[in-house]
Chain A
Amino acid sequence: AQSVTQPDIHITVSEGASLELRCNYSYGATPYLFWYVQSPGQGLQLLLKYFSGDTLVQGIKGFEAEFKRSQSSFNLRKPSVHWSDAAEYFCAVGGSYIPTFGRGTSLIVHP
């Protein structure tokens, strides 16, 4: 069975600081990995995805993520956070046709 662990429930950063959100997955074969962002009361928007190839993937809004097979991780990074990045972030794995989501990390941005 596939699963995702996001170990940090909340992350607080100052505006302009760098950000890393952690994601660990469990899947028996080559995983398909996603990061989504959710603003309050809204649906989920895809930030980036990894299917194969280059393990460093670029996404929208200046986000990137690195796939590390040896660590079963797919951490999300951003070099400089903006106040508008405050939201809930979800990592998902989709080796079958059905994506499985982590519980999410809430990002709080201080001015």
Chain B
Amino acid sequence: DTGVSQDPRHKITKRGQNVTFRCDPISEHNRLYWYRQTLGQGPEFLTYFQNEAQLEKSRLLSDRFSAERPKGSFSTLEIQRTEQGDSAMYLCASSTSVGAVTEAFFGQGTRLTVV
């Protein structure tokens, strides 16, 4: 297993454009998380999936953001009409649901720059 994989690693886009990021979790993990991290801050929770069901979304997640996990495996995060404030590192993590809580394993992130 190669761990959590995110693509692309870097994305530069013009303001107003749409972008989509992909996350491939560890294969046996049924929980998947998206976080956003800005410079000098810790990861902020965006949304959480258990299998294909999106069970929780942060109030940070505006209606320009949408996430999917159609078959309970990989996930995509789309940002429509990007704004400069969307510039951040977008981190994906996965974990199992065996036991009450297990640790989340993180990908290397996608760094988004909106110009």
Query: A residues bordering B, Cβ < 8 Å?
Result: 4, 6, 9, 32, 34, 36, 41-46, 49, 51, 90, 94-104
B108–A43 contact, CB under 8 A? yes
List chain B residues, Cβ under 8 A from A43. 4, 6, 91, 106-109
Number of chain B residues close to chain A: CB under 8 A: 28
Q: Within 8 Å of chain A (Cβ to Cβ): is B33? A: yes
Tell me the bound Cα distance from A8 to B13 in angstroms: 34
B48–A44 contact, CB under 8 A? no
- Chain A-chain B contacts (Cβ-Cβ < 8 Å), number: 59
List chain B residues, Cβ under 8 A from A41. 108, 111
A98–B48 contact, CB under 8 A? yes
B103–A49 contact, CB under 8 A? yes
Q: Within 8 Å of chain A (Cβ to Cβ): is B28? A: no
Q: Within 8 Å of chain A (Cβ to Cβ): is B101? A: yes
B103–A101 contact, CB under 8 A? no
Q: Within 8 Å of chain A (Cβ to Cβ): is B8? A: no
Tell me the bound Cα distance from A32 to B93 in angstroms: 17
A90-B108 contact in complex given A32-B101, A43-B91, A97-B31, C-beta closer than 8 Å: no
Please, which residue of chain B has its CB at the minimum distance from the CB of A94? B101
Q: Within 8 Å of chain A (Cβ to Cβ): is B85? A: no
Please, which residue of chain B has its CB at the minimum distance from the CB of A32? B101
Chain-A contact segment, one of B14-22, B37-45, B67-75: B37-45
